[in-house]
Amino acid sequence: MFEHLDDPSPPSPTSRTLGAVLARAARLRRQRVTSALAVVAASALVLGVGIGILMPRSAPRSAFSAFDSQSGVLAPGTPVPQSDLADVVFLDDLHGFALALHDQQTILAASTDAGDTWQVVNAHLPIGFPAQLEFADTAHGYLWGGAPSTSGTLSLWKTSDGGRTWTEAPLGPVVSDVSAIGPDVWAVVGACPITSATVAKSCAASIEVSLNSGNTWSTTQSEPPVLENNGLSISDQDLELARITPARAYLLAFTATGATGSSQPGRLVYSPDGGRTWVERSNPCPRYFDFGEQIAASGTDDLWMMCASQASAGSQAKALYRSNDGGQYWKLVAAANAPVLSGNLTLPAAGGLPVEGYVSPYSLGHENLAVLRPTTAWLFPDRSTVLETTDGGARWNPVAGLAEAGLDSGGNGNVVFVDPTHGWVCETGAGLWRTSDGVNWERLGP
């Protein structure tokens, strides 16, 4: 039934998504250069009127002149404008890391002042956008995703010096998701390389664990009872890991049925003991709303499941289910119905979820939904706007403060909070916004 749709497959990061991001970033760079030239011209006029013809004096340089004008590899320490950030993570209210785009390069940038300023850490990353990153502390970080290699592999790379150097972890062939809690690191690994074949297959998945920040790895005592689909998708997102503590974790596996023709239902499993045992939990996403799934949590028992349909023309039917008992029972709390995209199925809920915008598997990474507590969460669907709920997901409203601070709808990016008051929204190729009280927002930098 989906053959008529004009957007039946995920957007290609190397053409449409990446091209749009680079074009937007280039426009902003041109604006910075134009503004800098205007300042220089005005300064020259003032000097000419005030002191006449004197020896030439140095014109003020833009803080980002090296980033904007240099076409080669950027040196460590080069200032990075917030408008070129593509994905951000923060460790606390001051320290953050980000992927940034410079021409066709993906670079690692870091901030030590809550995002006010950023500097190049490494311009020779082993993989590029749309890679995903996570840092456990200011030294230890992990990088995965991006475009598959020619052999269909997706490797995991690790750093122990804040991103200055990276080494490949002995895992594979496909690393789908990573979670680090201090030196305790879990990686979800698929057994089959990614393929572009018309008919994909389901392969076993395992959890690899490192207790020493990625130096050595071992497989959990038992494999989770889930399968991975090895069809081509953005960063291989049909496996998602949600860790609550070093021992307690959920693993979500789903297949984008419209993309592969498979009818394998999504599965959610839970381990209470560091992967020694796995318990099946129910998956609430109904048929036609199971093309995309994303899980988030504020604790072991408080789970949020976002379900989504096939997408078309910037729209996607969505449904939010909540569980307060660790996934044994789910309740539908909000929905955005689009019957033409969901087999004419209409769910009996409202709540303000937008039909506009995409969540998994179209979005990059698992960073659309940030849950802070059982009542409070933030949602940033690609090609939509940022929304928040303060009543457990029953009602969603656009964040007025972000619009007032200059965040335009229709972009893509991620939302991250380190506590209930300190959060950031990165709109890829457009800018970075910050709140320090969970209510008021400001735009950082140019």
The CATH number covering residue 146 comes to 2.130.10.10
Q: What is the mean pLDDT of the chain?
A: 83
CB distance 150 to 234 below 8 Å: no
Residue 26 lies in a domain: no
- Output 154-163 pairs: Cβ under 8 A, ≥24 positions apart: 154/194, 154/235, 154/236, 155/126, 155/127, 156/187, 156/214, 157/126, 157/127, 158/213, 158/214, 160/213, 160/214, 162/110, 162/121, 162/138, 163/97, 163/108, 163/110, 163/121, 163/122
Closest CA to 367 of 375, 355, 379: 379
CB distance 367 to 294 below 8 Å: no
| Strands lying side by side in the sheet with 85-90 | 85-90, 96-102, 105-111, 119-122
Residue 7 lies in a domain: no
Residue 9 lies in a domain: no
Reduced to 3 states (helix: H, G, I; strand: E, B; else coil), residue 340 is: helix
Distance, CA of 433 to CA of 143 (rounded, Å)? 24
Reduced to 3 states (helix: H, G, I; strand: E, B; else coil), residue 100 is: strand
- Tokens in use for 358? 């995409």
Residue 30 lies in a domain: no
Per-residue pLDDT tens digits of the chain, which is 446 residues long: 322 233 333 344 444 444 444 444 444 444 443 333 333 333 333 333 333 333 333 333 467 877 887 777 899 999 999 999 999 999 999 999 999 999 889 999 999 999 999 999 999 999 998 899 999 999 999 999 888 888 889 999 999 999 999 999 999 899 999 999 999 999 999 888 887 776 677 888 999 999 999 999 999 999 999 988 777 554 446 789 999 999 999 999 887 544 334 445 689 999 999 999 999 999 999 999 988 889 999 999 999 999 999 989 889 999 999 999 999 999 999 999 999 999 999 999 889 999 999 987 777 666 789 999 999 999 999 889 999 999 999 999 999 899 899 998 888 889 999 998 999 999 988 899 999 999 999 999 87
pLDDT of residue 237: 61
Q: For the whole model, what pTM was predicted? A: 0.84
Cis link prior to 173 (omega < 30° from 0)?
A: yes
Q: What is the pLDDT of residues 152-210, one digit of tens each?
A: 899 999 999 999 999 999 998 999 999 999 999 999 998 888 877 766 778 889 999 99
> In residues, how long is the chain?
446
pLDDT of residue 233: 58
Q: Return the percent helix, strand and coil in the chain, to nearest 5.
A: 15, 35, 50
- Tokens in use for 371? 């849950």
Closest CA to 180 of 220, 145, 133, 216: 133
- Report angle CA 431, 437, 438 to the nearest 5 degrees: 70
pLDDT of residue 265: 65
Burial tier of 197 (Cβ tally within 10 Å: 0-12, 13-18, 19+): exposed
Residue 180 lies in a domain: yes
pLDDT of residue 27: 46
The tally of domains found in the chain comes to 1
Query: Strands (DSSP E) along 20-104, which ranges?
Result: 85-90, 96-102
Distance, CA of 294 to CA of 231 (rounded, Å)? 18
Q: What is the pLDDT of residues 245-286, one digit of tens each?
A: 999 999 998 875 443 344 456 899 999 999 999 999 999 999
Residue 383 lies in a domain: yes
The residues, ordered by sequence, that sit 6+ positions from 355 with a Cβ below 8 Å of its Cβ are 315, 316, 317, 318, 336, 337, 338
- Report angle CA 224, 228, 231 to the nearest 5 degrees: 175
Reduced to 3 states (helix: H, G, I; strand: E, B; else coil), residue 259 is: helix
Distance, CA of 248 to CA of 297 (rounded, Å)? 12
Residue 10 lies in a domain: no
Residue 122 lies in a domain: no
User: What range does the domain containing 217 cover?
Assistant: 131-444
